[in-house]
Amino acid sequence: MTEENSPGAETGGVRYDVVDGGVALVRMSRPEYRNAQNSAMTYALDDAFYRAAADDRVKVIVLAGDGKHFSAGHDIGTPDRDIDKPFDRRATLWWDHSDKKGVASRYARESEVYLGMCRRWREIPKPTIAMVQGACVAGALMLAWSCDLVIASDDAFFADPTVRMGIPGVEYFAHPWQMGPRFAKEFLFLGERVDAAAAQRLGMINRVVPRAELESSVLDMAKRIAAMPQLGLALAKRAVNQCEDLMGLRDGMDSVFGLHHVAHAHNAEMGLDSLAGHDARSMRDAAGRR
């Protein structure tokens, strides 16, 4: 099925393949940790998306996760958690956070590996499809939401339990645009799981398919999109994204990123900080341990 799986394609817990029909398959591959994203993985995703964007053979990009779950969110406690490590390259112009403290560290890091990367991935001038099974929780929502389409299997569920940590939503704050303001509040206030059928009714995802048919359904759709004129697709994507920004997405996200960091600063000042700290267990429970 694959035309290419070149050396280095599996770095950082991410696999990259080009499938027949002009489709790139970017796979998170830490299934033993429910594809929790550490920084190594976000940089590897960034590399994979850059590669797919530059590859003329690739018309459509599919983002997937190996195993039972799409992703349980950001890495808040695996042995490979790398929140304090420096990385050689950066995606934004923010300084290296790893030798700074407080907001100078936290704001720079999250601007880089969370908000900055997700925004750039949303701007890739090729259609992107998130292929979601099992958990799509907290930081995983950011990945799905920055894709153009979301196809989920019937066992998928979605949740943002960050209010349990006193934080008003994940860094890529698209909630009111993804599900409407009314339900966005319920989603945040309760932090409970929303199943795939409900997510589709809310307009957060495009289609729900049986688990066994997820990959074939997504690849079939991806190949049909890939057959469309490439510039037309790029311009159509840009058109909808521009209108979404005119509906306030970008400015809203910027303003809420400040609130998000007020909450991080409060937690640090009150001694509540550390994502590995007081509420990590409830976060992990919400993320799909069952």
- Where does this chain bind Zn ion (CB under 5 A)? 110
Among 148, 145, 205, smallest CA distance to 170 is for: 145
Residues 149 and 154: their CA atoms lie apart, in Å, by: 16
Shortest distance, position 171 Cβ to Zn ion, whole Å: 5
Angle made by CA atoms 266, 267, 272, in degrees to the nearest 5: 150
Shortest distance, position 148 Cβ to Zn ion, whole Å: 25
In the block, residue with structure tokens 């359904």: 217
Shortest distance, position 173 Cβ to Zn ion, whole Å: 11
Q: Which amino acid does the sequence have at 155?
A: D
Shortest distance, position 213 Cβ to Zn ion, whole Å: 35
Contact criterion met (CB below 8 Å) for 194 and 173: no
Residues 113 and 43: their CA atoms lie apart, in Å, by: 8
Shortest distance, position 170 Cβ to Zn ion, whole Å: 7
Give the Cβ contact number of residue 268 at 10 Å: 15
Cβ proximity to Zn ion: between 134 and 139 the closer is: 139
Q: Which DSSP category does 113 fall into?
A: I
Cβ proximity to Zn ion: between 110 and 160 the closer is: 110
Cβ proximity to Zn ion: between 17 and 110 the closer is: 110
Residues 131 and 39: their CA atoms lie apart, in Å, by: 21
Shortest distance, position 168 Cβ to Zn ion, whole Å: 10
Residues 26 and 140: their CA atoms lie apart, in Å, by: 14
Shortest distance, position 268 Cβ to Zn ion, whole Å: 11
Please report which helix (H) or strand (E) contains residue 262, including its range: helix 249-269
Cβ proximity to Zn ion: between 47 and 110 the closer is: 110
Residues 103 and 263: their CA atoms lie apart, in Å, by: 11
Give the Cβ contact number of residue 88 at 10 Å: 6
